[in-house]
Each structure stands twice: as structure tokens, then as C-alpha cells.
Amino acid sequence: MTTLYLERASAVHRLNPVTKLVALLAIIAIVFAVPQWWVPLGIVVFVVVPAAVLARVGGRLLRLFLILLLPLLVVLFIVQGFFFPDGTTVLWQWGPARLTVEGLVFSLTIGSRLSALVLGSLVFVLTTHPARLMTSLTQAGMSAKIAYVISASLQIIPAFQERARSILLAQQARGLEIAGGPLRRARALLPLIAPLVLGMITDVDERSTAMEARAFGATPRPTSLTVVDDPLSERIGRWLLAATAAAVIVLVVVGVIA
């Protein structure tokens, strides 16, 4: 299965996934509502990173930060910092490149928001097993069919990639050449499409038969083998998080935070 989840024994892992999801959404709402760049940065430094360290996924988070986010932040800084069209307070100039305070603030704002969004989501994904997420969401009232679509796309798609590889292997075994230039390789992949698509269509048929044979959707209230704890403290915590986010948005809208 291709998810980023890391198995650890930590308080963050043990949290009900719905709580983590609400926290993530609250963070996203706040960082995009508040105009000050230091708010998202503060959330990253004082909430997201400590959570990752507590969950013992800090190393992986750092690696993902370096691979995914850092290049983007550098580009953002160069483009917006030096070439911000509305920049007036010039700090440094070289040819057409002008480092302006406005450009710097703009790139900091976007960069810190992006960091809070991406890093927060990563901590969520790194510490939340998809199965627990699905169970907790269905426990919270999400429909089993929607849960199925999400789970299936997490699992069946990698399984189909596996199948694509085995079809390719079978065709190579019968003399299909896939070495050579990119164009040639792309052409060589064409024969893969028909068996894969046809296979998927017949699969859907048989799969739906198998699902119905196991009474999927037969009752509106299925029971569940796995149960995710949802203590009162977490439920209160979720309401507080949601209320905080709502309060911040209201304060921004009425102009108290500007």
C-alpha cells in the first residue's frame, strides 16, 4: 500500500483521527484567514513541528520538507521577493531584480501558509493509519459507500499498478520491446492499455458481484469490527478547535484582526 503512514506508539497516533482532521482543518482555516505571516509560521514552529517530534516522525517530516517544500519555497522567495510587481521599498537591486519589503512580506505570507498547510497535512498522514481514519469517519457518520471509494482508491489503484506491471511482463516475455527512446517506449506501452482497461471493466463486474454477495449496502447501519476510541475529552477538544477557528474567521471578517 502506498501511504506515508509510519507505525509508532505515540499519543499523536492514538488520537482519534477525526480529532486530528478537525485540528488540521482548523489550522488551515486560521492560516488562510489571518493576514499576518508570523501566525502560520508560529503554528508551524509551536504546533506542527512539536506534534511531529512527539509522534516520533520528525525525521521523516524533515526529509519530506526538504524534498517537497523547500524547492517550492526557494522559487517562491526568488520570484515574489525579487520580482514583486507592486514592490516600492527597495532593499537591494541588480538589473531587473529588485528585492522589496513588500515582495518579501508577500513571499513570507504565502510561504508560511503553504508550510503550515503541507506540513500539517503531512503530520496527519504520517500518524494516521488509513483504516483507522476510515473507521473513525464512518463512526462519525460518514456513509459506507463514500468510505469505500476512499479506501478503495488507496488500495485498489496500487493493486492495479501491480497488474499493469504483470501484463507488461507477460508482453515482454512474448517479445515486446520496451527499451529505446521515450517515443518508442511510449509506443510500446500502447499494447498495455487494451488488456488493462478490458481487465478493469470485467473486474468491476466481478468485484461488484463479490461486494453484493457480501451484503455491501444491505443495511443502513452496519456494525464494525474495529472500534476507534472517542473519549469525551477529544470531543470537547474538537468543539474548542472548531470554535477557535470560527472565532478567528469572525474577527478577521469584522476587521478586529487586520
Partner 1 sequence: MIELRDVAFAYEDAPAFTLAHLDLDVAAGTIMGIVGASGSGKTTLAKIIAGFIPSTEGGTYRGTASVAGAVLSEGTLTEAVDVVGLVTQNPFNQISGARFTVREELAFGLENRSVERSQMIERVNTVAATLGLTPLLDRSPYALSGGQMQLVAIASMVVMAPPVLVLDEPTSQLDPAGTRLVYDVLGRLSEGGTTIVIIEHKTELLHEHCDAIAVLAGGRIVSTGTPASVFADDRLSTWGVGQTRITQAAREARTRGLLPATEPLPVGVSDGAAVFGTNGETR
The one among 11, 91, 203, 236 contacting partner 1 by CB under 8 A: 203
152 near partner 1 (CB under 8 A) = yes
| Cα distance between residue 185 and residue 193, in whole Å | 13
Residue 116 CB, shortest distance to partner 1, in Å, is: 29
147 near partner 1 (CB under 8 A) = yes
CB 40 within 8 A of CB 111: no
Which residue spans within the chain are E strands per DSSP?
A: 90-94, 97-100
| Cα distance between residue 248 and residue 43, in whole Å | 14
| Cα distance between residue 231 and residue 73, in whole Å | 39
Q: At what angle do helices 130-139 and 144-173 cross, to 10 degrees?
A: 150
Q: Which stretch binds partner 1 (CB under 8 A): 92-100, 107-115, 150-158, 243-251?
A: 150-158
The count of residues interacting with partner 1 (CB under 8 A) is 37
- SS3 label, residue 71: helix
223 near partner 1 (CB under 8 A) = yes
Cβ neighbours for 144, distance < 8 A, ≥ 6 positions apart: 138, 216, 217, 222
Q: Which of residues 105-144 bind partner 1 (CB under 8 A)?
A: 129-131, 134, 144
173 near partner 1 (CB under 8 A) = no
Residue 217 CB, shortest distance to partner 1, in Å, is: 7
Residue 152 CB, shortest distance to partner 1, in Å, is: 4
Q: Which stretch binds partner 1 (CB under 8 A): 69-77, 118-126, 220-228, 240-248?
A: 220-228
Q: At what angle do helices 182-213 and 144-173 cross, to 10 degrees?
A: 130
Nearer to partner 1, 60 or 163 (CB): 163
Binding site for partner 1 (CB under 8 A): 1, 129-131, 134, 144, 147-148, 151-152, 155-156, 158-159, 162, 203, 206-219, 221-227
